[in-house]
Amino acid sequence: MSDPIATDPKAGADVTPESTAPESTAKPPVRIFLVVVDESPELQLALRYACLRARKSGGKVALLYVIEPGEVQQWLALENLMREEQRAEAEQKLQKLARDVNRLTGTLPALYVREGNRRDEVLALIDEEPSISILVLAAGIEPEGPGPLISYFTNRGLAKMRIPLTIVPGGIGIDALDAIT
């Protein structure tokens, strides 16, 4: 039976193998703040929060645009044309937002375009990209509630998450947001 402690013959003392290994110089992984792009006015709050947190923590921002399936599936040619138009719109919006991210962080964001159900695609991307470390959403201030993604992820969807969820209050002002980040 071997002893877990090795003897250093030069020093005449017992040392553990771990204490003789060189110290690790590996850097901690970069935090990636995922923002879901939509047409809501709250998007700007979520994006600004993610950018400011990424800048202060040495992290990066990722933007996800999900093209949800349309109702028209009877005519394949029309459906394909609509899908191409939606994809072009998604890419234009992401490019504009990427400039905003670059201006605020000094880095370019990762850009993702997916097709499908928004919440399913958010979860799929988080599962596929282990580098994504925080999901940032901003709450709506409308009477109908904070928004479908926040409603889902603060209820049933929370158990499916492997990363923290940050919710930016929709009624917060830019000055207050800047102060807390």
Band the pLDDT of 48: cuts 50, 70, 90: very high
Whether 1 has a pLDDT exceeding 60, the answer reads no
Q: Is residue 64 part of a domain?
A: yes
**Nearest-CA neighbor of 60 among 91, 19, 104, 26?**
104
Pairing of strands 110-115, 165-168: unpaired
Query: How many domains does the chain contain in total?
Result: 1
Residue with tokens 């901003």: 138
What pTM did the predictor assign? 0.81
Q: Is residue 5 part of a domain?
A: no
Q: What is the pLDDT of residues 5-41, one digit of tens each?
A: 333 444 444 444 444 445 556 777 889 999 999 999 9
Q: Is residue 1 part of a domain?
A: no
Give residues with Cβ within 8 angstroms of 144, minimum separation 6: none
Q: What is the pLDDT of residues 120-178, one digit of tens each?
A: 999 999 999 999 999 999 999 988 889 999 999 999 998 999 999 999 999 999 999 99
For residue 79, what pLDDT is reported?
78
Q: Is residue 49 part of a domain?
A: yes
Residue with tokens 């709050």: 45
User: Rounded to an integer, what distance in angstroms lies between the CA atom of residue 54 and that of residue 143?
Assistant: 31
Q: Is residue 104 part of a domain?
A: yes
CA 106, 36, 69: angle at the middle one, nearest 5? Answer: 135
Q: Is residue 165 part of a domain?
A: yes
* Tokens encoding 94: 């992401």
Range(s) of the domain holding residue 67: 27-180
For residue 24, what pLDDT is reported?
56
The CATH number given to whatever domain includes residue 85 is: 3.40.50.620
Three-class SS state of 85: helix
Residue with tokens 């695609």: 121
Q: Is residue 114 part of a domain?
A: yes
User: Rounded to an integer, what distance in angstroms lies between the CA atom of residue 128 and that of residue 82?
Assistant: 27
Q: What is the pLDDT of residues 96-130, one digit of tens each?
A: 999 999 999 999 999 999 999 999 999 999 999 99
Q: Which residue type sits at 141? A: I
Q: Is residue 11 part of a domain?
A: no
